[in-house]
């Protein structure tokens, strides 16, 4: 049994296609939205390819820790971006209501 069937249920070619498509879409999103969490996700997705190169078991654990950290950073930044967008929307509504009352 090879490493790819133990780590990923997808064959190597399908995994590469998934990585290429998801990285392309995240780059597209980053270009338009400029959110840091897109970069964290890009790094995390690309680093899944390291499983095929690294064979010592410690590398798998380090990769798992890296993925966990990147996912946490991405979730934190998503929450922060959502909160900032909500505050901006509330300010915009307050400004519109103030101009309507004047």
Per-residue pLDDT of the chain (102 residues; tens, 9 = 90+): 455 555 667 788 888 899 999 999 999 989 998 888 899 899 999 988 887 777 777 887 888 898 899 989 999 998 998 898 899 888 888 887 777 765
Domain residue extents for the chain: 3-101
Contact by Cβ (8 Å): 63, 54: yes
CA dist 89 and 83 (Å) reads 10
Rounded Cα distance between 74 and 92, Å, is: 27
How much is the pTM? 0.72
- Of 15, 18, 28, 30, nearest in space to 74 by CA: 30
- Mention every residue, 6+ apart, whose C-beta is less than 8 A from residue 61: none
């Amino acid at each position: 049994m090879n490493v790819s069937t133990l780590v990923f249920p997808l064959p190597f070619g399908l995994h590469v296609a998934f990585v290429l498509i998801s990285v392309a879409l995240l780059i597209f999103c980053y270009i338009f939205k400029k959110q840091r969490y897109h970069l964290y996700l890009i790094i995390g997705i690309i680093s899944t390819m390291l499983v095929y190169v690294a064979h010592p078991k410690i590398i798998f654990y380090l990769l798992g820790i890296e993925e966990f950290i990147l996912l946490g950073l991405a979730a934190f930044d998503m929450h922060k971006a959502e909160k900032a967008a909500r505050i901006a929307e509330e300010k915009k509504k307050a400004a519109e209501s103030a101009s309507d009352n004047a």
